[in-house]
Amino acid sequence: MTTDSLYIVILPLCRLSVCLSVCLSVCLSVCLSVWLAGWLCGWLSGWPVYLYPSTAKSLQEFAGVLQNLEDERTRMIENADDVLIMPLERFRKEQISAAKEAKKKYDKETEKYCAVLEKHLSLSAKKKEAHLHEADSQVDHVRQHFYEVSLEYVFKVQEVQERKMFDFVEPLLAFLQGLFTYYHHGYELAKDFNHFKTDLTISIQNTRNRFESTRSEVECLMRKMKENPHEHKSISHDTMEGYLFVQEKRSFVSTWVKHYCTYHREPKRVTMVLFDQKSGGKVGEEESFTLKSCTRRKTDSIEKRFCFDVEACLCMCACLFTRCSALLLLAAGKLKLASTCFSTQRHRKDIT
């Protein structure tokens, strides 16, 4: 086996083994991380921020296992340079390169020896005896040197063949040992995780069973609420909230600005926050005042319907309920007025 063929076989095999091992580990880890992150983000985006304790704990446990595996894989990849890459690179430079140099020297001496033989064979027999003896001595000298170079080349090839067992195979064995350690670490993690996995599986099954058992009840309740919406309302006698349009008077015109308002009965406290539907929610700072009275505005005194005056300790402003907001508050049982009251009653009503 020549050094060229040895170099061609050993080095690509070495590089292929390293590349396959590293790429496989990296690809598996990256694909798993990307898939899991995408799945979790997609799953969590459709649910509220609050998670049940078992769900939050399971996600934390999953993250811990994956992070532990990733740390072990990172250590394995970091050690691959010292354990595998550098020893193989050193073997290539010191041993295979030396064998290639020995082959170059052998080829050069072979060419020189063949040229001397051809020249020696072309000598005429009519040459003087002394000249022929000198030519024979020169051929013997070149043959001896060629013999020594040949032995050195054969010795170097044999040395490379023997060194493969520890300079080439041993680093691969060490790398595989690290790879097996990584897999064994995963196996130990799986054993430790098995108890939690069993409990979580039982919890998931119980949750699924509870979901199936309550789903029909929830659907039945939903149908009842749709059929009789006034009989299934969450009534609070202490708090009411909804959207109000507050009239803001400027130089020549008055505008109606949407606010989200909350009223607490006991302290008679009204809280208002500017609300912009286009921006996606509440904007601005929260304003609060103590309510003194709330009086319905006469229909012929303003161009808008469902208006009333809110009197605070130091200020008075005109507010407009949208129909949907009025119905929302009425449905919650917070405002004991029917929609017809806004057009028939003319007297003052205090909110208590």
- Which residues belong to CATH 2.30.29.30 in the chain? 239-344
pTM, two decimal places:
0.46
Structure confidence by residue, pLDDT tens digits, 243-257: 898 888 877 788 888
**What integer is the mean pLDDT of 18-28?**
45
Q: DSSP assignment of 23-56, as one string?
A: HHHHHHHHHHHHHHHHHHHHHHHTS-S---HHHH
Structure confidence by residue, pLDDT tens digits, 106-118: 999 999 889 888 8
pLDDT band at 318 (very low <50, low <70, confident <90, very high): very low
Cα distance between the two ends of the chain:
105
- Where does 239-344 sit in CATH, by number? 2.30.29.30
Q: What is the pLDDT of residue 234?
A: 65
Q: What is the pLDDT of residue 164?
A: 84
Indicate the average pLDDT of the chain. Answer: 74
Q: What is the pLDDT of residue 122?
A: 78
Structure confidence by residue, pLDDT tens digits, 33-89: 434 444 444 444 444 434 444 677 888 889 999 999 999 999 999 888 888 899 889
- Where does 3-211 sit in CATH, by number? 1.20.1270.60
**What integer is the mean pLDDT of 208-235?**
82
How far apart, in Å, are the Cα atoms of 190 and each of 72, 108, 116, 187, 199?
14, 62, 73, 5, 14
The yes-or-no verdict on residue 309 having pLDDT over 80 is: yes
Q: What is the pLDDT of residue 308?
A: 87
